[in-house]
Amino acid sequence: MAGKKLGVGLIGLGSISFAHEAGFGEMGEACEIVALCDINEEEINSRIGMYAAAKGYTRYLDLLDNPAVDMVDITVPHELHYETAKAALEKGRHVLVEKPITVRSEHGAELIALAKQKGLKFSVAENTHFVTAYLKAEEILKQGILGDILTVRTLIAGSEVHRIKDPNLWHGKAPYGGVILDSAVHNFYLFKWLFGGVRDVLGFASKLVPEGEVEDNGLILGHLANGAEYQLNTSCTFEIPWTERVEIYGSQGGMIIDQLADPVARYYLGSNDYDGVILEGVPFDPLGWKFASMVEEIRDFVLAIIEDRPPRVDPADA
């Protein structure tokens, strides 16, 4: 791609696409949005004016016929990820697909193999790898400061109750999946990245919002690759700002990361270390931390294409 501005096609213009759009905007002359696609023509018309060279489509197959499109960014409902990404790869386009990669593992593996066969960049928009607090935690873990890891607890939660109750939206509806598929995937990626993955899974699910068709709360227990225990809580019925909390306990100390706390991240060395050590360089930004990480995930994928290197997020891990 040296010397050529990367042509980007956006497939899906829902709320999550705004952060992706901002990420492409941050890339300056490296890329430009040349095509937008959504089933809602009003949404296309409201945004297409920002891009002089862009064309609008209500069918993604028509967008894929546009020769100016080098890569696509897919943010459609989960059940549509597989067919949309497969069509794009078959058309020779690089693909970034919003998490989860697909709703069926065999479809995800098929897409990974297809991208490799075609020599195309393919990744999942998994922002976890670009959250500043987790990058700092990775440094602490690599240094062995906490000792042998014994227990990891995570929480990812917020409220989607208003969306679940809206019959015109896909949230909380089958077959798109509930909060485990939509949110817990972030924590499973974190387990893979920082701790080598999981050995086993025991899950509990419940549905509190009557209008929903799938679970809106989940509790998942198991063991990490090294034998440590993990506990994963996720909910889309908590009336708080969307947040993530990670607790890591080792033989020599523990670390707590909480996006709604100030400071966000601190580790402790022993039961008498009441002050702990604040992880410097982790901003308290409860409104913007997630948005900033999504912008970075977009930047990484664009640079992966330009520099002809693997994206930082391996789709097999996501």
* C-alpha span between 83 and 103 (Å, rounded): 11
Give the model's pLDDT for residue 318.
Answer: 85
Domain 131-283, classified CATH 3.90.1300.10, yes or no: no
Predicted confidence at residue 169, as pLDDT, reads 86
Q: Where does the pLDDT of residue 2 fall: very low under 50, low under 70, confident under 90, or very high at 90 and above?
A: low
pLDDT in tens, 144-167: 999 999 999 999 999 999 999 999
- State the average pLDDT over residues 185-201: 97
- The tens digit of pLDDT for each residue in 55-90 reads 999 999 999 999 999 999 999 999 999 999 999 999
Check if 6-128+292-307 and 131-283 are the same fold: no
pLDDT digits (tens, 9 = 90+) for 253-312: 999 999 999 999 999 999 999 999 999 999 999 999 999 999 999 999 999 999 999 999
154, 246 Cβ separation under 8 angstroms: yes
In this structure, the number of other CB atoms found within 10 A of the CB of residue 163 comes to: 17
- Delimit the domains of the chain by residue range: 6-128+292-307, 131-283
Q: How far apart are CA 187 and CA 107, in angstroms?
A: 21
Ramachandran area for residue 218 (φ above 0: left; ψ -120 to 50: alpha; else beta) = beta
Q: Measured between alpha carbons, how far is 183 from 218 in angstroms, rounded to an integer?
A: 10
Query: Where does the pLDDT of residue 316 fall: very low under 50, low under 70, confident under 90, or very high at 90 and above?
Result: very high
DSSP-derived pairing of the beta strands 94-98 and 71-74: parallel
d(C-alpha 241, C-alpha 218), whole Å = 18
Give the pLDDT confidence score for residue 6 in this predicted structure: 97
Give CATH for domain 6-128+292-307.
3.40.50.720
For residue 3, what pLDDT is reported?
A: 64
Q: Strands 243-250 and 94-98: what pairing?
A: unpaired
